[in-house]
């Protein structure tokens, strides 16, 4: 796996931790929506990168 994909997966993991029960601070609704949008963008980037390698 490329370093770029691993970095993106780490970003995704960190974002999911902020939404999980492991979080230390509850995010306001608008921040939660922004984070979800960012995470979805990361997933799309990973899918595009993996798809271009086929």
pLDDT in tens, 25-48: 899 999 999 999 999 999 999 999
Q: Report which of 12, 10, 14, 8 is spatially closest to residue 48, judged by C-alpha positions.
A: 8
Supply the pLDDT for residue 47: 93
Average pLDDT estimate for 17-27: 90
Supply the pLDDT for residue 11: 95
- The answer to whether 36 and 20 have CB atoms below 8 angstroms apart is no
Q: Domains in the chain: how many in total?
A: 1
Supply the pLDDT for residue 51: 84
Range of the domain at 13: 3-52
Altogether, the residues listed in the chain come to a count of 54
Q: Does 53 have pLDDT greater than 90?
A: no
Distances (CA, A) of 47 to 9, 18, 28: 11, 22, 29
Q: Does 52 have pLDDT greater than 90?
A: no
pTM of the model: 0.81
Distances (CA, A) of 51 to 7, 20, 35, 46: 17, 29, 24, 8
């Amino acid at each position: 796996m490329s370093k770029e994909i691993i970095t993106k997966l780490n970003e995704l993991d960190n974002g999911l931790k902020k939404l999980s029960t492991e979080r230390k601070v509850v995010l306001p609704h608008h921040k939660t929506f922004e984070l979800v949008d960012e995470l979805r963008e990361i997933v799309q980037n990973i899918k595009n990168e993996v798809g271009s390698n086929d």
